Amino acid sequence: MTRITSSTTALTTRWVTPSNTASMTSGSSARTCYTKSDLSFQTITPGSYNKSSPPVQDDGTVSRMSTNTDEDISQFAVDNNFQADFATGDIDHTLLIGLDHQRINTNYLSIFDFNVPDSNVNNPVYGLPITRPDRSTAFYDYNQKTRQTGLYVQDQMALGNWRLTLGGREDWVHTGTKFFNQGDATNTQRDKKFSGNAAISYVFDSGFVPYLSYAESFQPSSNASVSASDSFKPTEGKQWELGVKYQPPGSNTLLSAAVYDLTQKNVSVTNTVGGVTITSQTGEVKVRGLELEAVSDVTDNLKVIAAYTLAKSEVQDGDFKGNRLQLMPNQQASIWGDYTWHSGVLDGFGIGLGARYTGNTYGDQGNTYLGKAKAYTVFDGSVHYDLGRLNGSLEGASVAVTATNLLNKDYLSTCDSYYCYYGDERSVVASATYKF
């Protein structure tokens, strides 16, 4: 479940200087993007995870199953917009008008097979032949084409210390799905939706900026039901947010706090039916949360970023009413510090160290022990050097080595209704950067 983000608060919006003239500055931009991803994997897992039918028998025999998945997704997107800065009397405006369009093509195939040879933990035999089942036995096998067009407008206004943003967007979505495992049955779905956003804030001379915002969201889904009955409905959301930002005059410190109330419907979730994991949509889900963030140049050398999020999720209807939304942490926190020398022998050299905490999650809608992943904390680090400090001819060049999960901790990042997944191992990346 994703928060509805917005850049409508005063400290994240560029405002033109108040003017009583009728002059106007304008500009336009166009962005085009094409992405393609291909996925193919086969897994062998125990055939049961229930206490009543344990995966390992008393003699060590393990029943097994295989999952074979192929998925390829291609996406083309274009976004054209026009921005104008002008004034009407004492009110300064930043007006944005745009039109975007995207095309997504998805091919998805998933085959489950319970006819995999058993193994024995006391006397394992490796290399047993495992044959991929015929495509005709696929649980999922469909092609889906999604076409989305959106028209949007937003006006950011400034009157003295007041800031007001009003915006709206109309979306038209066409989704066509062909189910190869259901006799080539087809389903066509058309959706349209208007979503609006508004925000108001006041910039105090002391650096405090309280704000209130409301935003709506509309996001097409790229999944389909197991049967050929329909494609998934778009996910719709509404969010209220009340917060305050504080930047002491003349400082490089920014503190922010916000509470929010987010409601979404048609959220995708997973279930296990007959030992097979399927994706479906739940009714309405509500999340109430708190977000705290601090960014500060503590000294000329030391920079610190810290954040904390509390999110209380609850399913609002259906068989799992009152439960937490699956795969959503109840708490998250992070801190990162970077110390860079600007003089002496270590001039240009810097080190960074941080930690990330993720609270527990449930991977099934029933919130059972099978799908619970415990909270975990991992550490990250980096070293970097500005080569321009070594030689003036290298101005703009730098090198860095960054490591995530620095201590190479073993942990479960998430569990769904059938599997658990280890978190990423330690990753070390060396990079060289040149800024023109």
Mean pLDDT of 267-280: 66
Greater pLDDT, 187 or 208:
208
What is the pTM (predicted TM-score) of this model?
Answer: 0.82
Please name the residues in contact with 248: beta carbons below 8 A apart, sequence gap of 6 or more: 207
Contacts 24+ apart (CB under 8 A), 113-116: 113/65, 113/66, 113/68, 113/137, 114/47, 114/65, 114/275, 116/44, 116/47, 116/64, 116/65, 116/66
The predicted structure's pLDDT at residue 57: 85
Q: Using one digit for the tens of pLDDT, what is the confidence trace for 354-406?
A: 999 999 999 888 888 778 899 999 999 999 999 999 888 999 999 999 999 99
Taken as a whole, the chain contains a residue count of 436
Structure confidence at residue 56 as a pLDDT band (50, 70, 90) = confident
Inform me whether the pLDDT recorded for 269 exceeds 70. Answer: yes
Residue with tokens 């489950």: 112
The residues that bridge with 256 in the sheet, in sequence order, are 245, 293
Domains of the chain, each with CATH number or no CATH: 10-434 (2.40.170.20)
Q: What confidence tens digit (pLDDT) does each residue in 11-38 have?
A: 333 333 333 334 567 778 889 999 999 9
Q: Distances from the Cα of 106 to the Cαs of 4, 69, 90, 103, in angstroms?
A: 25, 13, 50, 10
Spatial separation of the C-alpha atoms in residues 341 and 348, rounded to whole Å: 6
The whole-chain average pLDDT of the chain stands at 88
Identify the weakest region by mean pLDDT among 93-102, 186-195, 267-276, 293-302. 267-276
pLDDT at residue 19, rounded to an integer: 36
214-218, long-range: CB < 8 A, 24+ apart: 214/238, 214/239, 214/240, 214/241, 215/4, 215/6, 215/239, 215/241, 216/4, 217/4, 217/264, 218/169, 218/171, 218/193
Residues 6+ apart with CB under 8 A from 345: none
Identify the bridge partners of residue 41 per DSSP, sorted by sequence position: 69
CA–CA separation, 219 and 35 (whole Å): 18
Supply 293's token pair: 């963030």
Residue 8 clears pLDDT 70, i.e. is over it: no
> Of the ranges 7-21, 93-107, 116-130, which is most confident?
93-107
> Where does residue 204 rank: exposed (0-12), middle (13-18), buried (19+ CB within 10 A)?
exposed
What pLDDT does residue 22 have? 46
